[in-house]
Amino acid sequence: MALPRPFFCLRQLYRTQRASVTWCRLQHTDRSIRIIDLRSDAISKPPQEMREAMMNAEVGDDVFGDDPTVNKLKARVAKMLGKEAALFVPSGTMGNLISIMTHCQGRGLEAIVGDQSHIFLHEQGGMAHIAGVMGSVIKNKPDGTFDITEMKSLIRRRDDIHEPWTRMICLENTHNKCGGRVLPQSFMQEVYEIATENDIIVHLDGSRILNAAVALDIPPSEISQYCHSVQICFSKGLSCPIGSIIAGTNDFIFMAERMRKAVGGAMRQVGILAGAVLYALDNIAPKLIDDHRHARRIAESMLTDKNKIVKIDLDAVDTNIVFGEIIEEGLLAEQFCRRMSDVIGKERVDLGIGISVKMFPYSKKSFRFVLHNNISEEEATLACKKFRYVVEELSDWYSSHQSFREEVSYQ
């Protein structure tokens, strides 16, 4: 039985490589291979200095409010975001859930969420099955925004007993699924003003709000002024092992602390984690701009004259996340990612080094890579070399085997 065309063609490519030079799929235990992991900024590891800050952090019992390092962090982040108070939680998912539970303390309440948002797609539907809040889904545009007119139409009438009440609107900035896009300030302001007019809460999933602030060259507080509550995650671009913070009014945080206890998020001597965040705010946050620059460099490296297989919209590369589209009919994103991870003998000779780049196939025809603090200038350059090499290799191969592929397709 004939193999599906994409797999058949890739097998022929490897046979071609084998015919020209002895090759093998080198194992990642080979220390001569440089492994560059771009699967997510969440895989970034704490640097040694951060580990020392954790070890030396003064601790107390955070449930009793006695941990001085956590208290210092909460005060600093609240001020940074322009909010009255803040609360340390284990994860961004829990931070978003606690925020929804705090804002929606009643039956028959609804939150407007984007169809590509992290809250809707990647948090186990917690807003529904834990918080008991109904989601009203609105279509995200490619830039992470949504249509304001459509949003207005989703706001429920308060005088109709047949319908739930619209209690919240959830935004995401930067927007992960839309490629790390930064929401325009004008959009956030318009949503906030409409929500306020209708007695609706705006919650911001700001896991990467610091990336947004860097891209806009403004303080984070200028972004978070257009929301009633905000969640910021420290285990992504800031390389912390764990931890997020939610911030808002004093009343919001008072109730959020109760919700944190209910979902098992209260921690004791957690200053060792807060110490990591304080280090990151001082030493890693100022370098987020480098992640953005590396992301654009790598995206540009693929767009050569020989490229026939990959499409990337450079205008959509706002921060450290890049999405690419496979435009070659016979190639799948999974295969492209596998080829980027593999090291073949001929490639090693051509490049003078073995380079393995890890990234995710995000769908059948799209892939994602994310830059982070663990990727140096040198490693970004190596990633550029690998991407350019593989894109041109596959482009040449598919072009030269066009007639062969048409014959396989016909059969």
**pLDDT at residue number 169:** 98
**pLDDT at residue number 32:** 79
Identify whether residues 256 and 362 lie together within a single domain. no
Identify whether residues 301 and 405 lie together within a single domain. yes
Identify whether residues 236 and 268 lie together within a single domain. yes
Statement: residue 74 has pLDDT above 60: yes
Domain that holds residue 349: 5-42+287-410
Which of 224, 255, 283 is where one domain is finished? 283
Identify whether residues 10 and 89 lie together within a single domain. no
Mean pLDDT to the nearest integer, 188-210: 98
**Predicted model pTM:** 0.90
The mean pLDDT value of the chain amounts to 92
In which band, very low, low, confident or very high, does the pLDDT at 31 lie, cut at 50, 70 and 90? low
Statement: residue 105 has pLDDT above 70: yes
Bridge-based pairing of strands 201-205 and 321-326 is unpaired
Identify whether residues 132 and 238 lie together within a single domain. yes
Residue type, 192: Y
Identify whether residues 177 and 266 lie together within a single domain. yes
Statement: residue 166 has pLDDT above 90: yes
The CA-to-CA distance between both ends of the chain, in Å, stands at 11
Statement: residue 23 has pLDDT above 90: no
Statement: residue 65 has pLDDT above 50: yes
**pLDDT at residue number 344:** 87
Task: Give residue-wise pLDDT tens across range 230-284.
Answer: 999 999 999 999 999 999 999 999 999 999 999 999 999 999 999 999 999 999 9
Identify whether residues 94 and 64 lie together within a single domain. yes
The Cα–Cα gap between 190 and 230 comes to: 17
Identify whether residues 310 and 254 lie together within a single domain. no
Task: Give residue-wise pLDDT tens across range 312-364.
Answer: 999 999 999 999 999 999 999 999 999 999 998 789 899 999 999 999 899 99
Task: Give residue-wise pLDDT tens across range 364-403.
Answer: 999 999 999 999 999 999 999 999 999 999 999 988 876 5
Identify whether residues 26 and 71 lie together within a single domain. no
Q: For the chain, how many structural domains are there in total?
A: 2
**pLDDT at residue number 24:** 40
Identify whether residues 35 and 72 lie together within a single domain. no
Identify whether residues 135 and 208 lie together within a single domain. yes
Q: What CATH number is attached to the domain comprising 399?
A: 3.90.1150.10
Identify whether residues 155 and 279 lie together within a single domain. yes
Nearest to 102 by CA among 247, 248, 256, 251: 256
Q: Exposed, middle or buried, 291 (CB in 10 Å: 0-12/13-18/19+)?
A: buried
